[in-house]
């Protein structure tokens, strides 16, 4: 239907590249819906031009900021106040229904069926499953809802400083009222779940339709060698399963970088692709830690997912327990 759309948001260059990959992944899986990107006014001209080649509509919006440093500090994400900007999606009233998707999500198969769901449908948040995660949600644009949401922000603020807190307190019957509004987790699989419930990931992970690179470390925090198909980066707090990261980088380097190169022309730009990097995740392994230090880091939520605490190592350990 022409009046249905997938919508994303990027207020800066990095998230804009995420949005490009997301848009390409939707196109590659033959979506019949429109694609809309909301962008902040500071996203550069070449980036906006590339977005226009992938999306049907690129709309510049004011950046809304919660400015709520106390709550954001609690999440250790001082950067997420601007996610209030997401609320602008309710103003897209030339569509009857839409799916919002964070710019750090990647589509692995056609998900047009999501538009059969009603507002507000979303998947549980892996950190607190009675809340929904606002990285993927179905909504119905409406100026009235938009006004009410803004009023809600003014009166109650956000318990996490970002949009997810506001949306969960606004749509506060999500957890209990209607199970059809609970999207299966495969529509918003965050890698965190892989490490917190590995057997479930082994059982169901193969059905994933959308992966969400939730957390501080994003795919673009790494660098990639397209020839060797290797990812590396000095990032310790890795959040993604290497296979999904590789999917993201493969799509970015093959389908997005050429468009960026065309738009930037002679102007220099940093694609994140570098040739001749050595062993994957080499730097991410970091200095060797004692097992006590590793345990402490793990308990602080800083597991070395790309190194010692990698998926394969955890699996090996679990297999020995199961035997
Ligand atoms: N976002 C943005 N600029 C920012 C931070 C966030 O455009 O500086 C948008 C982007 O679409 C992003 C979403 O808001 O995917 C939510 O932020 P993020 O994905 O970083 O949060 P997380 O899912 O890691 O909690
Ligand atoms: C989350 C969601 C993200 C949201 C952020 C701030 O963890 O994944 O989409 O913007 O919280 O509320
Ligand atoms: Mn996200």
Place of tokens 């479930």: 200
CA of 190 to the centre of ligand 3 (A): 9
Measured by CA distance, the residue closest to atom 3 of ligand 1 is 11
User: Around Cβ 149, how many Cβ atoms within 10 Å?
Assistant: 20
CA of 278 to the centre of ligand 1 (A): 30
Share of residues in the chain with pLDDT > 90 (%): 61
Tell me the per-residue pLDDT of 62-110, one tens digit each, with 9 for 90 and over.
888 877 777 878 778 777 878 889 999 999 999 999 999 999 999 999 9
Rounded to 10°, the helix 45-54/257-264 angle is 140
Distance CA 202, CA 312 (A): 12
Res. 297: pLDDT tops 70:
no
- From 67, 85, 102, mutation site for ligand 1 pocket: most ligand atoms within 8 A of C-beta: 102
pLDDT for position 67: 79
Closest ligand 2 atom to residue 134 Cα is 9
The average confidence (pLDDT) of the chain is 86
Does the beta carbon of 124 lie inside 6 Å of ligand 2? no
Does the beta carbon of 104 lie inside 6 Å of ligand 2? no
> Buried (b) or exposed (e) across 117-126, using 16+ Cβ within 10 A?
bebbbbbbbb
Which comes out higher in pLDDT, residue 275 or 315? 275
Distance CA 192, CA 195 (A): 6
pTM here? 0.86
CA of 110 to the centre of ligand 1 (A): 23
CA of 227 to the centre of ligand 2 (A): 34
The residue ranges of every structural domain in the chain are 4-190, 217-322
> What pLDDT band is residue 58 in, cutting at 50, 70 and 90?
very high
pLDDT for position 307: 62
Tell me the per-residue pLDDT of 139-169, one tens digit each, with 9 for 90 and over.
999 999 999 998 898 888 889 989 999 999 9
Does the beta carbon of 81 lie inside 6 Å of ligand 2? no
What CATH number has the domain spanning 4-190?
A: 3.90.550.10
CA of 149 to the centre of ligand 1 (A): 19
Place of tokens 């955890």: 314
Does the beta carbon of 205 lie inside 6 Å of ligand 2? no
Cα angle at 41 between 40 and 46, to 5 degrees?
A: 95
Closest ligand 2 atom to residue 160 Cα is 12
* Residue 132 β-bridge partners: 124
Structure tokens at 113: 């069926």
| C-beta of residue 152 within 8 angstroms of C-beta of residue 135 | no
Distance CA 28, CA 26 (A): 6
Query: What average pLDDT does the segment 276-283 reach?
Result: 44
């Amino acid at each position: 239907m022409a009046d249905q759309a997938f919508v994303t948001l990027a207020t800066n260059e990095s998230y804009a590249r995420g949005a490009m990959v997301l848009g390409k992944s939707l196109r590659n899986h033959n979506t019949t819906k429109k694609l809309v990107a909301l962008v902040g006014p500071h996203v550069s001209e070449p980036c906006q031009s590339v977005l226009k080649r992938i999306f049907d509509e690129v709309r510049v919006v004011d950046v809304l900021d919660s400015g709520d440093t106390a709550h954001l500090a609690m999440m250790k994400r001082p950067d997420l106040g601007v996610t209030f900007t997401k609320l602008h999606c309710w103003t897209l009233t030339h569509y009857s229904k839409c799916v919002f998707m964070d710019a750090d999500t990647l589509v692995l198969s056609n998900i047009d069926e999501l538009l059969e769901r009603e507002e507000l449908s979303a998947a549980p948040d892996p950190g607190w499953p009675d809340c929904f995660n606002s990285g993927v949600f179905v909504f119905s644009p409406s100026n009235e809802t938009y006004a009410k949401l803004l009023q809600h922000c003014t009166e109650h603020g956000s318990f996490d400083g970002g949009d997810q807190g506001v949306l969960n307190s606004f749509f506060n019957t999500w957890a209990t009222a209607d199970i059809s509004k609970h999207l299966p987790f495969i529509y918003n699989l965050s890698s965190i779940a892989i490490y917190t419930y590995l057997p479930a990931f082994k059982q169901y992970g193969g059905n994933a339709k959308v992966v969400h690179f939730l957390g501080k470390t994003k795919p673009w925090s790494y660098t990639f060698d397209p020839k060797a198909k290797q990812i590396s980066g000095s990032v310790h707090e890795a959040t993604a399963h290497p296979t999904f990261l590789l999917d993201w980088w493969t799509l970015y380097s093959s389908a997005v970088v050429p468009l960026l190169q065309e738009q930037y022309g002679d102007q220099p730009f940093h694609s994140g692709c570098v040739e001749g990097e050595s062993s994957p995740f080499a730097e991410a392994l970091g200095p060797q830690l004692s097992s006590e230090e590793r345990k402490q880091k793990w308990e602080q939520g800083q597991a070395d997912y790309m190194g010692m605490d990698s998926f394969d190592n955890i699996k090996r350990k679990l297999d020995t327990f199961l035997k």
